[in-house]
């Protein structure tokens, strides 16, 4: 029954193309061919869809906007099948077309697609920048809903943005506020981190993992990385306010046991992710923030030595 319906619909599309070829111009013919390619994509005929898109794309009569729509169609196919080669190739092609004069709407649609692609590649800095750029002009419901887009973008921002920027650019953004009711766990995680309510933060982080990270086809592979980075961020934020504090008070702040905090901190300190020392006998965590000024001084001296060596070499060559 499904095959019969698909065959009938394909016949109707072929008929429409034949009519456009006889009675209309090149623009209508191209649009009819694009509809045919979209139909192949909708029924899961990926190879036929790509071939149909490519055939229209290579026509000399295809307009710039039609070419961009075709590339977006191929990008959606690539994202659906999660084919990195196709996605990267079509993003590069889309940039070339947009630089030739793509309109405002299609530029923003490309930014939204790139934002999600960067999320899937764990490139959260690039994803957060694109998210902020296209948040107020998001118009890609064919990619995902506004709430889903905000969820992915906000999670990317949570990893890389400063606490002040999260409040200003994410939590207080009107577009984010409008959809936060649909993703309450994300809002609770960001707000509790900003307000330094670490016990609530841990609960919200667990909810984010189960409700969003585990069910997102773009973030599922990075769920462990995300939860680890967010825990490190929360620990570092608390430790930044103190020269030292007890393991007991830190465990109470996060709503966990002292054994758990001790295990977590030991692992992250050994990996060089947290700058502190654990006094197990005294039950105290002592911070030892890196001396940034001294590091900058040493780096400047090193770069100066390299520059002097190059000047001396150049002087020797000139004197010869």
Interval 246-263: pLDDT, tens: 999 999 999 999 999 999
On the question of pLDDT at 180 being above 90, the answer is: yes
The pLDDT, as a whole number, for residue 293 is 61
Mean pLDDT lowest among 17-26, 148-157, 220-229: 17-26
Sheet order of strands, 244-246 included: 244-246, 284-287, 276-279
pLDDT band at 20 (very low <50, low <70, confident <90, very high): confident
Computed over every residue of the chain, the mean pLDDT equals 90
The pLDDT, as a whole number, for residue 226 is 97
**CA–CA gap between residue 30 and residue 254 (Å, rounded):** 60
Using the 8-state DSSP alphabet, how is residue 243 labeled?
A: S
The pLDDT, as a whole number, for residue 10 is 81
CA-closest candidate to residue 160, choices 193, 133, 126:
126
The helix/strand/coil state of 246 is strand
Q: Give the bridge partners for 287, in sequence order.
A: 276
How confident is the model over 145-164, as a mean pLDDT?
A: 96
**CA–CA gap between residue 79 and residue 88 (Å, rounded):** 10
For residue 96, how far is the Cα from the chain centroid? 22
Q: How many CB atoms lie within 10 A of CB 48?
A: 15
The pLDDT, as a whole number, for residue 300 is 85
The pLDDT, as a whole number, for residue 45 is 87
208 touches 219 (CB < 8 A): no
264 touches 303 (CB < 8 A): no
* pLDDT tens-digit series, residues 28-86: 888 888 888 888 888 888 888 999 999 889 988 888 888 999 999 999 999 988 899 99
**CA–CA gap between residue 289 and residue 298 (Å, rounded):** 17
For residue 163, how far is the Cα from the chain centroid? 18
The pLDDT, as a whole number, for residue 292 is 61
If one compares 283 and 10, the residue with the highest pLDDT of the two is 283
**pLDDT cut 90: percent of the chain above it:** 61
* pLDDT tens-digit series, residues 120-149: 999 999 999 999 999 998 988 989 999 999
**pLDDT cut 70: percent of the chain above it:** 97
DSSP letters, 19-77, are: HHHHHS-HHHHHHHHHHHHHHHHHTT-HHHHHHHHHHHHT-TT--HHHHHHHHHHHHHH
**CA–CA gap between residue 248 and residue 254 (Å, rounded):** 10
Quick one: three-class SS letters along 268-318? Answer: HHHCCCCCEEEECCCCEEEECCCCHHHHHHHHHHHHHHHHHHHHHHHHHHH
The pLDDT, as a whole number, for residue 179 is 95
Q: Give the bridge partners for 276, in sequence order.
A: 287
Task: Extract the tokens encoding 114.
Answer: 């790139």
Q: 246-265 burial, b for 16+ CB within 10 Å, e for fewer?
A: ebeebbebbebeeeebbebb
Helical H segments across 82-222, by residue range: 84-99, 104-120, 124-134, 146-160, 163-165, 174-179, 184-194, 198-208
């Amino acid at each position: 029954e499904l095959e019969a319906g698909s065959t009938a619909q394909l016949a109707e599309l072929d008929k429409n193309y034949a009519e456009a070829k006889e009675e209309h111009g090149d623009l209508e013919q191209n649009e009819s061919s694009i509809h045919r390619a979209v139909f192949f994509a909708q029924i899961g005929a990926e190879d036929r869809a790509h071939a149909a898109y490519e055939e229209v794309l290579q026509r000399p009569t295809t307009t710039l906007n039609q070419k961009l729509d075709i590339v977006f169609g191929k990008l959606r196919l690539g994202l659906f099948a999660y084919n990195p080669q196709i996605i990267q190739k079509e993003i590069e092609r889309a940039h070339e077309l947009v630089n030739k004069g793509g309109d405002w709407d299609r530029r923003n649609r490309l930014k939204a697609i790139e934002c999600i692609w960067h999320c899937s590649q764990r490139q959260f800095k690039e994803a957060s920048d694109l998210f902020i750029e296209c948040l107020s002009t998001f118009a890609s419901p064919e990619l995902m809903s506004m709430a889903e887009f905000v969820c992915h973008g906000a999670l990317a921002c949570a990893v890389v943005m400063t606490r002040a920027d999260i409040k200003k650019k994410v939590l207080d953004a009107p577009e984010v506020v409008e959809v936060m009711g649909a993703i309450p766990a994300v809002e609770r995680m960001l707000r509790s981190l900003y307000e330094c309510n670490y016990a609530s933060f841990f609960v919200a982080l667990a909810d984010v993992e189960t409700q969003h990270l585990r069910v997102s086809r773009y973030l599922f592979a990075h769920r462990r990385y995300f939860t680890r980075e967010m825990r490190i961020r929360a620990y570092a934020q608390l430790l930044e306010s103190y020269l030292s504090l007890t393991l007991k008070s830190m465990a109470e702040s996060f709503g966990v046991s002292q054994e758990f905090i001790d295990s977590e901190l030991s692992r992250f300190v050994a990996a060089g992710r947290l700058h502190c020392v654990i006094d197990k006998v005294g039950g105290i965590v002592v911070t030892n923030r890196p001396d940034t000024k001294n590091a900058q001084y040493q780096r400047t001296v090193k770069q100066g030595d390299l520059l002097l060596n190059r000047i001396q070499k150049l002087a020797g060559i000139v004197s010869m």
